[in-house]
Amino acid sequence: MQASQPEPAAEAAEARSDTVSALERGISVLRCFSQDKPVLGYADIAKMTGIPRPTVNRLVATLAATGMLKPAASSDRFTLGPAVISLARVFLVSLDVRAVARPKMMAMAEDLGCSVYLAVRDGMEMVLIEACRPNSSILSPRLDVGSRAPLPTSALGRAYLAALDDGKRAQLVDSLRLMRGPEWDRVGPGMQRAIDEAQRLGYCLSLGEFHHEINSVSVPLVGPGDEIMALNCGGAAFMFTEQRLREEFAPRLMAIARDIAHDIGGHVPATRAQQATA
């Protein structure tokens, strides 16, 4: 059996003189672990990254020695280590926007009986950095801090894409198209309609496209350093109908986004109509 070869993206990364390929490969190993795949073996990581197995062995050994990975119960398998949690806590503490956003998000969650999320982009996904749900909720949370949502099918991702400038969005969409392959013909049109809607109305929807039978609405929010975030709420489609999302939840979510932006010195992207009259 031939050893797996690095993917073209990995080879391109190594060719760049301004990066350290070994560090990039180590980070790519950490990115393999997710909520759905918390425990991985050497062969799993080699397959997911395209990095040769001998190199994977050395990278895993290094990451384990630094506490980024730790051995799992089963032989030759690993999970994320405590050092990753420490870094995540530092990152979350540094996000002042969470302290500003949480009271407003919690008030909406209690008033409307919905879960409200705040997310930032990480690679080709959005990652939740804050999650608020009503205290009276008896349902177990579907998403929590650290959960991820894909850019093209989630309302969070679509709101983020809508807030990008045209050039950056085109580059990112090209990468998504290549990554999705034949699936893009099904995913792309819905994503583009949602982006157009966000730029026209200030919010966008995902109607059963991220999770089957789950509907949600999102609005973009830009921080003082031009970092783009997205606010979201939603739930079971039979309760969170398209009409309710548009008439009841979207206006409240947009108002929260404006309040947060004001408090942190950021802004909410202008709609096309607002740009035309500016």
Give per-residue pLDDT as tens, 242-275.
999 999 999 999 999 999 998 888 899 988 888 8
Please report the domains of the chain, with CATH numbers, ordered by start residue.
8-86 (1.10.10.10), 95-277 (3.30.450.40)
Confidence of residue 18 (pLDDT cuts 50, 70, 90): low
Give per-residue pLDDT as tens, 94-111.
557 888 899 999 999 999
% of the chain exceeding 90 in pLDDT:
55
- Which residue in 80, 219, 92, 105 sits closest to 145, CA to CA? 92
pLDDT over 70 at 144, yes or no = yes
Q: Beta partners for 206? A: 216
* Rounded Cα–Cα distance for residues 79 and 243 (Å): 43
Give per-residue pLDDT as tens, 108-137.
999 998 899 999 998 889 999 999 988 766
Q: How many CB atoms lie within 10 A of CB 105?
A: 25
pLDDT of residue 36: 78
DSSP state letter for 220: E
Distances (CA, A) of 98 to 89, 92, 122, 150, 200: 13, 8, 17, 21, 27
pTM, 2 dp: 0.69
| Terminal-residue alpha carbon distance, the chain | 63
pLDDT of residue 152: 94
pLDDT of residue 155: 95
* Rounded Cα–Cα distance for residues 186 and 153 (Å): 10
Confidence of residue 6 (pLDDT cuts 50, 70, 90): very low
DSSP state letter for 130: E
Give per-residue pLDDT as tens, 176-202.
999 888 899 999 999 999 999 999 999
Higher pLDDT, 73 or 207: 207
Residue 118 is encoded by which pair of tokens?
């705040």
pLDDT of residue 241: 93
pLDDT of residue 9: 44
Confidence of residue 41 (pLDDT cuts 50, 70, 90): very high
